[in-house]
């Protein structure tokens, strides 16, 4: 197990609960003799902290572990920034669902203490790379831990596009858009669009049409090493957007292409020893308990 002596902390801004949790985490980490490093935006809301401050990129280079205080959105942003550095990431939930940030704030001393003692589960999650090209030249790109979505933007109008997998034509489509999701993202937007839940250990990608103009179009699960290309029809009057993790927006135009493939670097995600994926699904998605349980 890795030893964590230099711990970075990233948090969601604009939340008094995050600041409260940050103070508690800081106090505990310092009591354990850990060198604590704050993300600069987070440091600005904690005057007089007396800690080292650095950017996301520098944090990836100097930290053994990064703790994210917030919700899944905070973890998604951290994953895109830190995956390239292969630094492990641990989440303390101050959001709503908390599929990725699974330590409760009241359990900081116990659960973070276990992680520092080498008692944890390490998962490897892959990200997607999306590249938007115009006349063969890249005009925008981003990574995504959850999903890459072709979306009509502010206009409620269908998009015409073609889908190619590993260079082979799959179908042409008229739909509100398309969701390309990792297993991590399969419990998010993809699920809302009718996609399957995929266990995080699966090496697979799901392609989910959004309100397709056909009764026979269904989600398609492909190998995780597959390259997917979307060709936006030149006949479109809509100028759609490519959205990564619901956070990064890349404007696209008719005749543009979007290429989506697995990113070489993976996210190292840490869970406490009591982590149970199916229990998380039961709790977050409202699945039924065992018969006889309240």
User: Domain holding 65: CATH number?
Assistant: 3.40.50.10330
- In angstroms, the CA 132 to CA 260 distance is 9
49 with 133, same domain: the answer is: no
Structure confidence at residue 47 (pLDDT): 85
Residue 50 lies in a domain: yes
On whether 190 is known to bind a ligand per the annotation, the reply is yes
Question: What long-range pairs does 285-293 form, CB within 8 A, spacing at least 24?
Answer: 285/187
Residue 207 lies in a domain: yes
Half-sphere exposure of 163 (CA within 13 A, CB side): 24
Q: Which helix (H) or strand (E) holds 129?
A: strand 121-134
What single DSSP character describes residue 197? P
- In angstroms, the CA 125 to CA 266 distance is 6
The CA-atom distances, in angstroms, between 274 and each of 32, 70, 109, 110, 262 are: 22, 20, 15, 12, 29
- In angstroms and rounded to an integer, the radius of gyration of the C-alpha atoms of the chain is 20
Structure confidence at residue 293 (pLDDT): 65
Question: Active-site residues: which are they?
Answer: 72
Hey, what are 135's tokens? Answer: 């006349």
111 with 161, same domain: the answer is: no
151 with 182, same domain: the answer is: yes
Structure confidence at residue 292 (pLDDT): 63
Residue 136 lies in a domain: yes
- Please list the rounded mean pLDDT of every run of 10 residues in the chain (294 residues): 88 86 95 95 87 89 95 94 94 86 93 96 97 97 98 88 98 96 97 96 97 90 98 94 97 97 97 92 84 63
User: What is the bridge-based pairing of β-strands 137-144 and 121-134?
Assistant: antiparallel
User: Domain holding 194: CATH number?
Assistant: 2.60.200.30
207 with 222, same domain: the answer is: yes
Provide the whole-model pTM.
0.94
203 with 258, same domain: the answer is: yes
- In angstroms, the CA 252 to CA 236 distance is 11
Residue 174 lies in a domain: yes
- Contact criterion met (CB below 8 Å) for 205 and 186: no
- Contact criterion met (CB below 8 Å) for 100 and 75: yes
Q: Which domain holds residue 68?
A: 6-120+272-285
225 with 277, same domain: the answer is: no
On whether 282 is known to bind a ligand per the annotation, the reply is no
On whether 176 is known to bind a ligand per the annotation, the reply is yes
On whether 192 is known to bind a ligand per the annotation, the reply is yes
The CA-atom distances, in angstroms, between 223 and each of 181, 205, 231, 266 are: 12, 6, 20, 16
Question: What long-range pairs does 170-173 form, CB within 8 A, spacing at least 24?
Answer: 170/220, 171/217, 172/233, 173/209, 173/212, 173/213, 173/214, 173/217
On whether 157 is known to bind a ligand per the annotation, the reply is yes
Into how many domains does the chain fold? 2
Structure confidence at residue 1 (pLDDT): 60
On whether 84 is known to bind a ligand per the annotation, the reply is no
Half-sphere exposure of 128 (CA within 13 A, CB side): 34
258 with 143, same domain: the answer is: yes
99 with 195, same domain: the answer is: no
97 with 164, same domain: the answer is: no
Residue 1 lies in a domain: no
What single DSSP character describes residue 150? E
Task: Find tokens 């399957």 and name the residue.
Answer: 196
Hey, what are 227's tokens? Answer: 């390259």
Residue 15 lies in a domain: yes
141 with 213, same domain: the answer is: yes
251 with 192, same domain: the answer is: yes
Residue 250 lies in a domain: yes
φ/ψ (deg, to 5) at 29: -60, -40
The 10 Å Cβ neighbour count of residue 30 is 13
User: What is the bridge-based pairing of β-strands 248-251 and 257-271?
Assistant: unpaired
| Bridge partners, 78 (sequence order) | none
The 10 Å Cβ neighbour count of residue 277 is 15
134 with 252, same domain: the answer is: yes
């Amino acid at each position: 197990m890795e030893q964590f002596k230099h711990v970075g902390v990233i948090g969601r801004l604009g939340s008094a609960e995050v600041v409260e949790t940050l103070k508690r985490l800081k106090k505990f980490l310092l009591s354990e003799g850990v060198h604590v490093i704050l993300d600069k935006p987070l440091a600005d809301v904690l005057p007089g902290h007396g800690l080292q401050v650095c950017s996301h990129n520098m944090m990836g280079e100097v930290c053994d572990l990064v703790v994210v205080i917030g919700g899944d959105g905070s973890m998604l942003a951290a994953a895109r920034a830190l995956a390239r550095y292969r630094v492990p990431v641990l989440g303390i939930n101050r959001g709503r669902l908390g599929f990725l940030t699974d330590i409760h704030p009241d359990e900081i001393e116990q659960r973070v203490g276990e992680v520092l003692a080498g008692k944890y589960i390490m998962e490897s999650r892959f990200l997607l790379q999306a590249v938007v090209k115009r006349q063969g030249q890249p005009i925008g790109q981003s990574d995504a831990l959850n999903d890459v979505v072709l979306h009509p933007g502010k206009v409620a109008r269908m998009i015409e596009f073609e889908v190619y997998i590993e260079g082979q034509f799959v179908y042409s489509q008229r739909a509100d858009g398309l969701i390309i999701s990792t297993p991590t993202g399969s419990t998010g937007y993809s699920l809302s669009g009718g996609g399957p839940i995929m266990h995080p250990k699966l090496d697979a990608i799901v392609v989910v049409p959004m309100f397709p103009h056909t009764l026979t179009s269904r989600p398609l699960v492909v190998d995780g090493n597959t390259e997917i290309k979307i060709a936006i029809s030149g006949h479109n009057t809509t100028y759609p957007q490519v959205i990564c993790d619901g956070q990064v927006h890349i404007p696209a135009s008719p005749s543009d292409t979007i290429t989506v493939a697995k990113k070489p670097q993976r996210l190292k995600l840490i869970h406490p020893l009591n982590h149970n994926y199916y229990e998380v699904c039961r709790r977050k998605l409202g699945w039924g308990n065992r018969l006889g349980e309240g």
